[in-house]
Chains A and B, each alone.
Chain A
Amino acid sequence: MPPTKGRPDSVLTPALIGGAAAGVLSGLPVIQCLCCLWIPAGAALAVFLAARSARGGTAFRPADGARIGAYSGIAAAVVHSLVNLPFQSVHLAFYRRVLERLAEYGQAMPDGWQDVFNPANAAGFSATGFVLGLLIFAVIFAAFGALGGVIGASLFGRKASVPTPPAGPPPLQP
Chain B
Amino acid sequence: MTPDAAAERRTLIRLYAATLAAGLLWMAAIMLAPWLAGRAPRMAAYLYACFTPLCHQLPERSFSLFGHPLAVCARCTGLYAGALAGLIGYPRFRGFAAVRLPDIRLLLLLATPIAADAAARWIGLWSSGNTVRFLTGFAAGSLLPYYFLTGVGEWLLSRRHIEIVTH
Contacts and interface: CB of A to CB of B under 8 A. Distances in A.
Contact of B150 (A84, A91, A136, A150): A150
A27 interface: yes
A91 B99 contact: no
Interface in A1-57: 1-4, 26-27, 32-33, 35-36, 39
Contact of A150 (B53, B76, B148, B162): B148
A146 to B, nearest CB: 6
A40 B107 CA distance: 14
Contact of A151 (B55, B107, B157): B107
Contacts of B123: none
Interface residues of A, number: 47
B99 A98 contact: no
Contacts of B148: 66, 143, 146-147, 150
A33 B56 contact: yes
Nearest to B66: A108
Nearest to A25: B53
Contacts of A26: 53-54
Contacts of A110: 37-39, 41
A149 B50 contact: no
A66 B42 contact: no
Interface string B100-136: 0100100100000000000000000000000000000
Contacts of B55: 35-36
A32 B59 contact: no
Top 6 closest pairs, chain A to chain B, by CB: A150-B151, A66-B151, A33-B56, A62-B151, A63-B154, A63-B155
Contacts of B107: 151, 154
A112 interface: yes
Nearest to A81: B53
Contact of A35 (B48, B56, B147): B56
B137 to A, nearest CB: 9
Interface in A87-129: 91, 95, 98, 101-102, 105, 107-108, 110, 112-113, 116-117
5 contacts: A36-B79, A91-B49, A101-B59, A105-B59, A137-B53
A116 to B, nearest CB: 5
B123 to A, nearest CB: 14
Contact of B151 (A84, A101, A108, A146): A146
B41 to A, nearest CB: 5
B155 A67 contact: yes
B106 to A, nearest CB: 11
B14 interface: no
B154 to A, nearest CB: 4
B155 A66 contact: yes
B154 A35 contact: no
A158 interface: no
A67 B162 CA distance: 15
B56 to A, nearest CB: 4
B54 A62 contact: no
Given A35-B76, A116-B45, A65 B151 contact: yes
A36 B141 CA distance: 12
A155 B99 contact: no
Contact of A36 (B38, B42, B54, B157): B54
